[in-house]
Amino acid sequence: MHKIRDRGGPSGDHLTGIADDARLRSWEGAHAFLEVVRNGSFRSASQSLRISANTLRRQIEEFEREIGITLLTRHVDGVRLTAEGQLIIETALRMESAALDIARVRNLGVSMEGEVRLGITEGLGTFWVAPRLVEFRQAYPSLLIDVRCAMHPTDVLRLETDIGIQITQPTVKDLRTVKVGRLHAIPFASQSYIDTHGCPKTIAELGKHHLVLQIADQITTAEMFAQLFPNTPQVGKVAFRTNVSTTHYWMIARGSGIGVLPTYATAIGAKVVPIDIPELRIAQDIWLVYHIDAAKLPRVRRLIDWLIEAFSPKQYPWFGDEFIHPNDLPTHVAGVPVPQLFEGFAEFL
């Protein structure tokens, strides 16, 4: 009997009416059929499949009844293909190829291979998540993590990203949302600025200082300025205005003026000094949003779980609902200095 790899099989054109027959639904039967053909007998095929010869015969018989064709005839020296069986081999091989493709895709998810796309606000992405996300990637070296930092929320519903981290509450009902923490922010300045211009204690005193504003989606400093200094033009009072968190930080750290930063800025090593004006405390909830279908992939689910831990108020108190002054924030987490968690990054702050 010719093995499948040796035979000159019929072309697809000869399979019209058979190859595309909608009744060919049973991969189990097709798989059993291919194994019998490859092994040349029910006994050898049953050993290969690790099932009894009787079970294998029943599978073949059920498959033949399903498609209405006799595929094999039994002989003393094994089995032989019927003419119809020869024709059906091409279809069975295509079913096998499709089953293997499905298994490969499934195994990609199980083995944590593939791509995960994360959309996150630029400040949280750059200063908080990115330095520590490297550790997550080291645990899963076959992952490609696409991090998209932007001040506007990514469109998770249309799968622009698999996961989103944002500081405005999502309103799309078809997405899963989780509040992972709260971002607290207060005014900061560099020590050089304070040495030169002094440190304001009240809003009235703040009005005599140079300000640095960040104007972007999800950021409220423009509205805060308008409330604090109504009918006051920004020209002459605002030194710098930017839409990017990293630029905003550097303008403050280099002594250009006073601006609002997260309370954890000093905890991770930023060279800025908090300014105590109780009325100027901003709090915004941090939301994790994801598409339910994307979360079915193990690699996406694993990153979701990691992000929830990355903003856990139990581990990082500055993300809790209650305000904690920067001077009172813990300097160590699990016995490790917080700046050490950002080694290779903190020296640039």
Residue 265 backbone dihedrals phi, psi, to 5 degrees: -55, -45
| pLDDT given at position 196 | 96
To the nearest whole percent, how much of the chain has pLDDT over 70?
85
- Confidence category of residue 26, pLDDT binned at 50, 70, 90: low
User: What is the per-residue pLDDT across 281-306, written as a single tens digit (0 to 9) for each?
Assistant: 999 999 999 988 788 888 999 999 99
Q: How many helices (H) and strands (E) does the chain have?
A: 11, 13
Instruction: Determine the Cα–Cα distance for residues 15 and 20; give it in Å rounded to an integer.
Output: 7
Residue 146 has pLDDT above 60, yes or no: yes
Please name which of 262, 309, 281 lies closest in space to residue 124, comparing C-alpha atoms: 262
To the nearest whole percent, how much of the chain has pLDDT over 90?
33
| pLDDT given at position 195 | 96
Residue 327 has pLDDT above 70, yes or no: yes
Q: What is the mean pLDDT of residues 198-212?
A: 93
Compare 240 and 330 and report the one with higher pLDDT.
Answer: 240
Among 49-63, 105-119, 297-311, the range with the most confident prediction by mean pLDDT is 297-311
Residue 220 has pLDDT above 70, yes or no: no
- Tokens representing 329 are 């924030």
**For 186-190, 223-227, 331-335, which range has the lowest pLDDT when averaged over its residues?**
331-335
| pLDDT given at position 288 | 94
First to last CA, the chain: 74
Please name which of 183, 196, 318 lies closest in space to residue 254, comparing C-alpha atoms: 196
**For 92-106, 172-186, 297-311, which range has the lowest pLDDT when averaged over its residues?**
92-106
**For 145-149, 265-269, 335-339, which range has the lowest pLDDT when averaged over its residues?**
335-339
| pLDDT given at position 240 | 93
- Confidence category of residue 21, pLDDT binned at 50, 70, 90: very low
- Confidence category of residue 131, pLDDT binned at 50, 70, 90: confident
| Continuous H helices in the chain | 27-39, 42-49, 53-67, 83-110, 122-123, 130-139, 191-197, 203-206, 221-228, 245-253, 298-310
| pLDDT given at position 24 | 43
Q: What is the mean pLDDT of residues 269-281?
A: 90
47 SS3 class: helix
What is the residue-averaged pLDDT of the chain?
82
| pLDDT given at position 3 | 44
Domains detected in the chain: 12-110 (1.10.10.10), 116-348 (3.40.190.290)
Residue 106 has pLDDT above 50, yes or no: yes
CB count within 10 Å of CB 241 equals 18
Compare 193 and 268 and report the one with higher pLDDT.
Answer: 193
Residue 10 has pLDDT above 80, yes or no: no
- Confidence category of residue 1, pLDDT binned at 50, 70, 90: very low
| pLDDT given at position 244 | 86
Residue 11 has pLDDT above 50, yes or no: no
